[in-house]
A and B are shown apart, each in its own frame.
Chain A
């Protein structure tokens, strides 16, 4: 098993300050969060509470109605398209359903940025793709299409695509959801392995507590559009906050009342 022996700096790499976002109804209601360089932070919360929405704010796919997101001091929501795309080169994102491009092969998916933005030769790209596939434990599937892959393989290819251009920050949207427990653990191990090998900052969103305890340096609980509690896995386990307690123990009884529809 990969060890959590990382060096976490005190440097804030991403800062969300007072983020508000509404669609039909308010989703984020004044969210504040600081993410330190080199850590794995896991954001937990109920399905549909806006975790993925927050993740999409970090990479600038969604813009906050109010508040700002800073990446290394740059206000993400005020950048021009070109500046934003430059910043995005520092990011990789693994989507819940992997979001591989159906019309492209595995190789073209993983090498997407190289094919579009560099003049690298096909051989060089093939080499990088093979190396990234090896990192996620896959061999010889370069010329297959996403439709031919299983769910776990898609996730791993998605992960290879996210790390292909050596990002500084990787965002994981529900990395283990929809996988069997063994494959879920494989993904957790991969996240830890990449973390120690590539020296990146990871932000993961999940409601899988097994995964959260395993990979997190810090866990943040999101509830009612805000971060209500943040701490190490140990601190979260021993929390006094009843909402957090109910969530991490997975009980239908407690302050979060689902049945009466509140």
Chain B
């Protein structure tokens, strides 16, 4: 009996330690990458390439998600709030939901899946084929070469993607409200302007800066930790995506609590 209990506690302890170890590792990864941003040699070409992968190439999937989210939001909410005659405020409801919460979080989750996975797989492959060691032998700091461009891409591109998602989502909501529920377009715009302020937009974009850093650092961390050939790369990719999604949602709760109001 005691043995089972002890084993149970041991299991909890082990998992807690591993969790804390990984969180520490990710934080350290961010810290070292952040310092290296300011040290030469600056890989401007590398950074632009990552921005392209992170930002530009994510536009289609982010836009698609945003437009459907905005449409569903308007479809469902207009139906519900029309029961007490508030359907004319739908513009504000969609606008606030998109800018504060859905734009930042959905965009980040989509990008975590798309870009996080590819970062972890690429760096993981480099690790198991000794390319990371080769960088070191060529006197290049792997953090500076691999992590810094991805971190910069994350914290600059995700806010831009989010702004785009906000815009497209609000547009999707507009289309549904006006063409399905026959709400005058004036009302949609007016309620949007009344309810959504610059502060809401700012809070949403601020969140995505944090989420962008999370995606880049978590994916790089698990990429660098990869061992064990092709199977290891697969494992690193999965765990990178799952972890970054969970950490994003966790960080979202904290940031929302901090900025609510």
Contacts and interface: CB of A to CB of B under 8 A. Distances in A.
Interface of A: 56, 59-61, 81, 85-86, 88-89, 91-93, 95-97, 99-102, 112-113, 116-117, 161
B141 A61 contact: no
B131 interface: yes
A99 B134 contact: yes
B138 interface: yes
Given A88-B138, A117-B139, A95 B41 contact: no
B133 A61 contact: yes
- 6 closest cross-chain pairs (CB), A and B: A99-B134, A85-B139, A99-B130, A93-B137, A88-B139, A95-B130
Contacts of A86: 139
Interface of B: 41, 125-126, 129-131, 133-141
19 contacts: A56-B133, A59-B136, A85-B139, A88-B136, A88-B138, A93-B137, A95-B133, A97-B129, A99-B129, A99-B130, A99-B131, A99-B133, A99-B134, A101-B134, A101-B135, A102-B126, A102-B131, A112-B140, A116-B41
A261 B49 CA distance: 50
Contact of A61 (B129, B131, B136, B140): B136
Contact of B137 (A91, A101, A102): A91
Contacts of A91: 137
A85 B136 CA distance: 8
Contacts of A97: 129-130
**Secondary structure class of chain A's binding surface, majority of residues:** mixed
Contact of A89 (B125, B134, B139): B139
Interface centre among B41, B136, B140 (most CB of A within 10 A): B136
A95 B126 CA distance: 13
B46 to A, nearest CB: 9
B43 to A, nearest CB: 8
A117 B144 CA distance: 13
Contacts of A95: 130, 133-134
Contacts of B133: 56, 61, 95, 99
A89 B136 CA distance: 11
A89 B138 CA distance: 7
A95 B133 CA distance: 9
Given A99-B129, A99-B134, A101-B134, 17 more contacts: A59-B136, A60-B136, A61-B137, A81-B141, A86-B139, A88-B136, A88-B137, A91-B137, A95-B134, A97-B130, A101-B135, A113-B138, A113-B139, A116-B41, A117-B41, A117-B139, A161-B138
